[in-house]
C-alpha cells in the first residue's frame, strides 16, 4: 500500500498554487534485467508456492522487495539461511561461482536471476583469465555485482579500482598482460576517465569489444543530462544502495542542478520547493513507475504541475526467462 501523501502546504507555495514545470526523464525506471528478475521471483512463487527464498535483495528497491515479501518471498543474505529442499532465487546483481556450487551440493532447486548483461561480464572475466591476463575491474568496492564478478575467477587474479587515483597506484608494468572490465552501473563519464588513465599507463591493456556499462544505465544518465540543465531541482527515485540511482544524482549535480535521492514521495520535504520553478524527475533502474506517479501526485498536492516528458531514447530490450520458467 502506498505511503500517505503529505498534505501540508507549508513552504510549498500551495496556497498560491504557484505553477511548477515538471520535466520527466525518459527512459527512466525499470530496465529489462529488473523486469526479468522480478518476473522470475513471481513465477517461482506461482510454480513452487510460498515461500520462495531469494538470496540478497532481488533488486535494490525497498518498495519492490516489500511487494514480493507480501507475496511469499523470503530474502536472505546467505544460502545457509535457506532450508533444505526449498527453492531459491539468486539476485539480478550476480553471485560468485561458489554460490550455485553450494546450492548444487545441497540439492537446492535454484533459479538464477542474474542480469544477462552482468553474466556477459562474467564470461569476459573467464576469457581474460584463460588468456593469461590479470584483470583490472572498475567498480565500487562491496557492491554485490563487484563481489559476484570477482567470484568468477580465482582470488588474486582481479584487482579493483574505483578512481583514477587508484590507477596511478597500480603496481603492474607495461610488460604485464592486463585486461580491464567494468561494473555495469557506473557513471559513464567517470568510467571513461578511468579507462583513459588505464590505457595511458598500460598501452598493452585489453578492453571489452563493447561497452560494459549497460544500455539502461547509459540511457538513464543521458536522459538526466536532458532535464537537469533546465531544472532548479532534480529528484531521483531510487534506493541508497542502488549504484545506478546514485550515479543519476551525480550526473544531475554535474549539470549544475540541485539533486536529491528519494525512495518515494513521503521523503520529499516541502521546503525543498522554495524558489523552484522547474523540477526534474527520474527513477533508477530498480524503481517502478508507480513511485514516479506517486511523486507527481504529491507535487500536485502542493503546486499546479505542468508535466513535460523529455524522451532521449526508446528502449525495446527484453531478456528471456530461465528455461525452468519458460512457457
- Cα separation values, 85 from 9, 52, 104, 110, 249, Å: 54, 11, 11, 10, 42
Dihedral sign from CA coordinates of 295, 317, 224, 93: positive
User: Strand ranges (DSSP E) for 124-230?
Assistant: 134-138, 158-161, 178-182
Burial degree of 325 (CB within 10 A; 0-12, 13-18, 19+): middle
Per the annotation, the verdict on 145 as an active-site residue is: yes
Q: Do residues 27 and 282 make contact, with C-beta atoms less than 8 angstroms apart?
A: no
All three cell numbers of 97 = 561461482
Running DSSP on this structure, what letter comes out for residue 282? Answer: E
Q: Which listed residue (16, 102, 104, 145) is catalytic?
A: 145
Which position has the grid cell 527464498? Answer: 53
Question: Could you tell me which of 156, 155, 199, 193 has the C-alpha nearest to residue 180?
Answer: 199
Cα–Cα dist 237/296, whole Å: 12
21: β partners: 278, 306
All three cell numbers of 87 = 527453492
Which position has the grid cell 523529455? Answer: 310
All three cell numbers of 169 = 597506484
Question: Could you tell me which of 231, 227, 319, 239 has the C-alpha nearest to residue 282?
Answer: 227
Half-sphere exposure of 88 (CA within 13 A, CB side): 26
Half-sphere exposure of 298 (CA within 13 A, CB side): 23
| Residues designated as active site | 145
Amino acid at each position: 500500500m502506498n505511503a500517505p501523501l503529505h498534505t501540508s502546504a507549508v513552504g510549498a507555495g500551495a496556497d498560491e498554487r504557484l505553477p511548477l514545470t515538471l520535466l520527466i526523464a525518459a527512459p527512466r525506471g525499470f530496465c529489462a534485467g529488473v523486469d526479468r528478475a522480478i518476473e522470475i521471483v513471481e513465477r517461482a512463487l506461482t510454480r513452487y508456492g510460498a515461500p520462495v527464498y531469494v538470496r540478497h535483495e532481488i533488486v535494490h528497491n525497498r518498495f519492490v522487495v516489500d511487494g514480493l515479501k507480501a507475496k511469499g518471498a523470503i530474502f536472505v543474505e546467505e544460502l545457509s539461511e535457506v532450508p533444505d529442499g526449498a527453492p531459491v532465487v539468486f539476485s539480478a546483481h550476480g553471485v560468485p561461482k561458489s554460490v550455485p556450487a553450494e546450492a548444487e551440493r545441497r540439492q537446492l532447486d535454484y533459479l538464477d536471476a542474474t542480469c544477462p548483461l552482468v553474466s556477459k561480464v562474467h564470461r569476459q572475466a573467464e576469457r581474460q583469465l584463460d588468456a593469461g591476463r590479470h584483470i583490472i575491474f572498475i567498480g565500487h568496492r562491496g557492491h554485490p555485482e563487484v563481489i559476484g564478478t570477482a567470484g568468477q575467477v580465482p582470488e588474486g587474479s582481479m584487482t579493483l579500482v574505483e578512481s583514477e587515483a587508484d590507477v596511478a597506484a597500480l603496481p603492474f608494468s607495461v610488460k604485464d598482460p592486463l585486461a580491464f572490465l567494468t561494473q555495469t552501473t557506473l557513471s559513464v563519464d567517470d568510467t571513461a576517465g578511468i579507462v583513459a588513465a588505464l590505457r595511458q599507463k598500460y598501452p598493452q591493456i585489453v578492453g571489452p569489444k563493447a561497452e560494459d556499462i549497460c544500455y539502461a544505465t547509459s540511457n538513464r544518465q543521458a536522459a538526466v543530462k536532458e532535464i537537469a540543465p533546465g531544472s532548479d531541482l532534480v529528484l531521483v527515485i531510487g534506493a541508497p544502495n542502488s549504484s545506478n540511482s546514485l550515479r543519476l544524482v551525480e550526473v544531475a549535480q554535474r549539470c549544475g542542478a540541485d539533486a536529491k535521492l528519494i525512495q518515494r514521495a513521503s521523503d520529499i520535504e516541502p521546503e525543498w520547493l522554495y524558489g523552484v520553478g522547474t523540477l526534474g524527475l527520474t527513477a533508477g533502474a530498480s524503481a517502478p513507475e508507480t513511485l514516479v506517479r506517486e511523486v507527481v501526485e504529491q507535487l500536485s498536492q502542493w503546486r499546479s504541475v505542468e508535466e513535460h516528458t523529455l524522451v532521449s531514447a526508446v528502449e525495446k530490450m527484453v531478456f528471456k526467462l530461465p528455461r525452468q520458467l519458460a512457457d
